[in-house]
Amino acid sequence: MRVFIAVELPQQVKKEIAAIQNKITDTTNKIKWVSPASMHITLKFLGEVQEKRLDKVFDISQGVADKFNPFSVEIKGTGAFPETGNPKVLWVGIKEGSAELARMAAELEKELFKDGFPGERKKWTPHITLGRVKQLKDTHSIKELIGKEKETSGGKMKVEEIVVLQSQLTPQGAIHTPLKRFSLKKD
């Protein structure tokens, strides 16, 4: 099954991010927008995982969750990967809490790699995907729309758990089903 580890977003934050998404709607370029219901912060994408290896993913996720206290996150700013001049993915960023998320992602990466899961080739950047550019006709319009929302807040939230999710791809978009949740340690 297709699996990843993430931080889920509360409904209010999803609503605020959807409002940002609506502000940067672009009719010039073809963009596949992520449904607000599917929005999350990916910590580690594992891809296809055999069911017999899921227990190891759960054990590692629990071990990493046990190393972190709950912390606050502020969603703020917009951007694109790899860059706004040639965007493939449009995103909203993480301001407060990004260092903690990066440490958590790095710890998952390290522990999963030790257990034989493939390592990341790209540097991990905390973000929430808004949409994927399917056909680019005018980079200027995307740059302008993203630039207008660079300082817009998508809300604040508390990270209290990480979740291992199954992702099923459908023509309407991915459907994410939680497999197991792991609470961060409480002081």
pLDDT digits (tens, 9 = 90+) for 137-150: 888 888 888 888 88
- Is residue 140 among the annotated active site residues? no
Please say whether the dihedral angle defined by the alpha carbons of residues 95, 122, 128 and 47, taken in this order, is positive or negative.
negative
Among 14, 44, 76, 127, the one annotated catalytic: 127
The model scores a pTM over 0.75: yes
pLDDT at site 100? 96
Among 7, 29, 40, 117, the one annotated catalytic: 40
Number of domains in the chain: 1
Mean pLDDT of 110-120: 92
Reply yes or no on whether the pLDDT at 171 is more than 90. Answer: no
- Is residue 176 among the annotated active site residues? no
- Show the domain range for 171: 2-183
**Tell me, what CATH number does 25's domain have?**
3.90.1140.10
Mean pLDDT of 150-159: 90
What is the distance between the alpha carbons of residues 151 and 131, in angstroms, rounded to a whole number? 18
